[in-house]
Structure 1
Amino acid sequence: MAMKIRLARGGSKKRPHYSIVASDSRMPRDGRFLEKLGTYNPLLAKDSEDRIKMNLERVQYWLAQGAQPTDRVARFLEAAGLKEKAVRNNPKAAVPGKRMAELAKKKADRAAASAE
């Protein structure tokens, strides 16, 4: 059974509230889970203590059992000090797309032509 520690969405429309749960990866996002490990309220300020609440002992237990955290939960665990900070490398993030590269080239050509 492949275990995940992930977010299950709750709350009403436009007012999300998430539960941090340990569940089988084959179950639906908001479906059956084995244990509720905490809560996450993205509407609160980032420095608020109530924004993320986790039972760290139980999270450690599930990690020891082989549960894999999702990307967002892994960031929460990094902030809590339970997991090493992963190196995120996306060198293409700052590279403009094809259209913007073409526009920049045209602009540079125009600037060079007007400078002559």
Structure 2
Amino acid sequence: MSVSIRLAKFGKKNAPTYKVVVANTKDKRNGRFIDVLGFYNPHQKTSSFSIDKEKYEEWQKKGAMTTQAVEKLVSGKYNYTKYNPKSKKIESSTEV
């Protein structure tokens, strides 16, 4: 069983918050998880991030893979960008 440390999405529509969780890699993003290590809220003026370093290091020693987002959050280099879908161009059809 391979295990990963990743972000699980929680919160309201258009205002997500994330939990840093340890989960089986085959489970869904918001599915079952083994342990909660911390949280991340990008919508405050100063985005708040908290993680239990001891648990994080313990799970890494056990062989848990870490996602890029969690690695950047822990190192302090993560930049949250809100998803903005591209607007669809309306094609005008000229039929004669």
Instruction: Sort the TM-score into its range (normalised by shorter chain).
Output: 0.7 to 0.9
Report the alpha carbon displacement of residue 45 of structure 1 after superposing the two structures with TM: 2.9
What is the total number of aligned residue pairs between the two structures?
77
* Percent of aligned positions that are identical: 35
Displaced runs of 4 or more, over 2 A: none
Distance in 1 of aligned mates of 2:14 and 2:63: 34
Long gaps (5+) in structure 1 = 80-84, 86-116
Matches within 5 A, 1:49-88: 51-79=48-76
**Residue in structure 1 matched with residue 5 of structure 2 by the alignment:** 5
RMSD: 1.4
Report the alpha carbon displacement of residue 63 of structure 1 after superposing the two structures with TM: 0.5
Higher relative contact order (CA 8 A, sep 6+): 2
User: Would you say 1:43 and 2:43 are equivalent positions?
Assistant: yes
Larger Rg: 1
Larger strand fraction of residues: 2
**Residue in structure 1 matched with residue 93 of structure 2 by the alignment:** none
Q: What is the TM-score when the length of structure 1 is the normalising length?
A: 0.63
Larger helix fraction of residues: 1
**Residue in structure 2 matched with residue 32 of structure 1 by the alignment:** 32
**Residue in structure 1 matched with residue 22 of structure 2 by the alignment:** 22
